[in-house]
Amino acid sequence: MRNAGFEFTIKGVILDKPNFVWDASVMGSLNRNKVLKLTQESNQILQGARIIKEGMPIYTFFMSKNAGVDKETGKQLYYAYEKMEEDGTIVGEYITDDYSKAATSKYYLGSREPKLSGSLSMNFKILKNFDLSVLGTYSLGGKIMGAKTGYVVQSGNCAASFYERDDGNEFICVTADAHSGWRAIYDHVAAYNIYAAGNTSYTKQ
């Protein structure tokens, strides 16, 4: 694997008074990596939702791609395709609610490695006898995977988890928190109520 990049530090005094001194510094790191060679047997290694593949950044996400929710049925929708070329070009893309097809139609969805990361620190000297330091870190770019699932009906606090009842019917479990970022899918509560009413035993799909 090849790593390349650079780091920088910017320091300065913002305010310098007899009884108050304020200085600050910003540190940053821009790093890029690429997998150059794996084994002779394979040019890639799958690790759950991530892939290590020759020619790509390490820990690239390789997973099914969300296409939203069907408003009529409440089912999860996925992007799928007929074929992916060696260079990653997608051929014959379509949308489906069949997860078995989505599971075999995985996409390269970016790396978790940030584009820029670093820290910001500030130091204060007050009345020549007191010192105060503040340090914060930042990370810009890079992908994360949300994995909040599985609270089911009892807690009423899951975020777009999809389940199948014992009788085979599917339903969508949505958060009950009015301040949640998932309010956009509240119009699917009706579908959830239809499938979940009167049932206490669930099997995850």
Compute CA distances 88 → 15, 83, 104, 141, whole Å.
Answer: 53, 9, 14, 22
- HSE (side-chain half, CA atoms, 13 Å) at 47: 10
pLDDT in tens, 118-128: 999 999 999 87
Interatomic CA distance for residues 188 and 193, integer angstroms: 9
The pTM is what?
A: 0.58
pLDDT in tens, 101-155: 888 888 888 888 888 999 999 999 998 789 999 999 999 888 877 644 433 333 3
pLDDT in tens, 77-93: 889 999 988 888 899 99
